[in-house]
With several copies, the nearest count.
Chain A
């Protein structure tokens, strides 16, 4: 592998039917980037969670909208951006309840953002009002 940056892009309609394809896409990119099996699995789950959130929360299952996943890597780091043009949100205000509290409150949600943070090495959300929102996720290679 040379030091040139590799770029991949996938755009699909905002339907959960496309999550399997999104996972195949990031797995293919992760393997090519040189991630080990465990890290490929983490990447797969984090990107799935990010895209499922866009479909559910940003677009509220409006299948005419599009989910955009960008991936670039060089020797050192794999960078994923999940883009949406929905209403945006403030991730710092998403409560991080403990599992037993969630269960007691009969809430099943709130796991996605927690997983993403636990799975990736860096996570950053850019909210560009009226334009687009980007969830940036980094995974270091080795």
Chain B
């Protein structure tokens, strides 16, 4: 089977909530990249990546997060990552993602975080 993956994007006020559903690998990462690019092109710099249904991520998907984060933060936005399942969390931790990204419990917490600290403090 080709890797099962879909993204649904909705909005809470000025925040884009991207629900990642399935597996992000080298096959599906380009679709993830396009979806983020589409938000930026539309002028949305505040993005929540809701990972509750993300069952797998490889470096191709991690690379998408990394390739956009500087540009987004430079323009005053951020990517908040939330609802990560333990398996995916383990992958994030191997690379030290928690030092770079704001990773929070769920969508409400991510919204709250945008209100309190729009960009992750070092």
Contacts and interface: CB of A to CB of B under 8 A. Distances in A.
Chain A–chain B contact at Cβ < 8 A: yes
Interface of A: 16-17, 19-21, 23, 27-28, 31-32, 38, 41-42, 44-45, 48-49, 52, 55-56, 99-100, 102-104, 106, 108-109, 111-112, 114-115, 118-119
Given A48-B25, A115-B94, A108 B63 contact: yes
A55 to B, nearest CB: 7
19 contacts: A16-B27, A19-B25, A20-B1, A20-B2, A20-B4, A23-B25, A41-B87, A48-B25, A48-B26, A52-B59, A99-B99, A100-B100, A104-B70, A108-B66, A111-B63, A111-B95, A114-B95, A115-B59, A115-B91
A interface, by DSSP: helix, strand, loop or mixed? helix
The list of the 5 closest CB pairs from A to B, nearest first, reads A108-B63, A16-B27, A111-B59, A108-B67, A52-B26
Interface residues of B, number: 28
B63 A109 contact: yes
A48 B59 CA distance: 9
A19 B99 contact: no
A31 B2 contact: yes
Nearest to B71: A106
B62 interface: yes
A112 B96 CA distance: 14
A106 B53 CA distance: 28
Contacts of A52: 25-26, 58-60
